[in-house]
Amino acid sequence: MQRALVTGGCGFLGSWVVKTLRERGVAVRVLALPSERTDNLQGVDAELVRGDILTPADCTAAVAGCDTVFHLAALYKAWMPDPSPMYRVNLSGTFNVLEAARRAGVARLVYTASVVALGRPAPGEVADERTPYEAFDLDFPYSRSKWLSRELAEDFARWGLDVRVVCPGIVLGPGDIGPTPSGKLILKALSGAPPVYCDGAGTYVDVRDAALVHVLAAERGRAGERYVATAHDLDNQAFLEAIGRAGGQPRRLRKVPFFVARAAAIAMDVAARRSGKEPELARDFLEYAAKPMRFSNAKSLRELGATYRPFDQTLRDAIAWFRERGMLARA
């Protein structure tokens, strides 16, 4: 791997992929939207080109001369009154990048899916790369769009393009400039949100570890294979307690019945559709996380040599980064 394109390279996870590649001496080109902020790449020696993955010509120009493509550009939002743009970016945009890579004869492409593009395990079991998607009963556009785009990427693999798929868990850590819906979980927990939780769980990974899995997938992975990049399965209570410890703001938490949380989320969704403002509690995420989310990272450890840092370190680094930028009050 000598020259790589990273779509979404100015973003949270994408910028760490860029940094990891540069540490290995790989020349990097970043495709960024015309008005996209580049704060996360300050001081990083990478070529920046402006364009849009929804424009095929921009994708063709971006992949030219690259032997490897990391496709991370996607629309990740907890709530959208109209999810059509999410489907266009995550599906049509993915097709444009894959097709440009195929036509250019790119040696390999690493596609960023998500654990929400896989299936959740049955109670008491652990999911992995082979667990089939099953969230058909939920109207969860982000999950549905990532499942469909993963299927699309794997169709290209079946047609002969060397595609490796990485499925990160909920990504946390320093550099969440957006912030993403994942980062907002930390910000809300430390900014006066009610000290309550309900049944539910998530699977979490440090952004730096997830970035390394992407690079290792390109270096050591196999064509057509999926690799889960996650490390910490926590229920909602344990997650909020960990944030409190890391942020120096431990609180006594109170459990509320799930039906109460669901009713609150529904009411917030109705109000949000009237006001156009994102609700404090996204119903889609709440409903999806109500089912256990336990995932094995054994394949990434065994085949790629991935490493994962302690969860408390991830939270401390994320919180310090938010505080340094005035996004979160100091304890």
HEC-encoded secondary structure of 127-161: ECCCCCCCCCCCCCHHHHHHHHHHHHHHHHHHCCC
Give the span between the Cα atoms of 154 and 133, in whole angstroms: 14
* Residue that has been written with the tokens 């900014």 in this structure: 191
DSSP state of 327: S
Catalytic residue at 142?
yes
Handedness of CA 180, 186, 188, 190 (dihedral sign): negative
DSSP 269-317: HHHHHHH-PPPSS-HHHHHHHTS---B--HHIIIII------HHHHHHH
> Which amino acid is residue 323, in one-letter code?
R
Give the span between the Cα atoms of 136 and 120, in whole angstroms: 11
DSSP 32-50: E-TT---GGGTT---EEEE
DSSP state of 223: T
- Report the relative pairing of strands 226-229 and 163-168 from DSSP bridges: parallel
111's tokens: 């596609």
Give the span between the Cα atoms of 289 and 116, in whole angstroms: 10
> Which amino acid is residue 311, in one-letter code?
F
Report CA 189 to chain centroid distance, whole Å.
20
Q: Write down the catalytic residue from 76, 87, 111, 142.
A: 142
Q: Looking at the annotation, which residues are catalytic?
A: 142
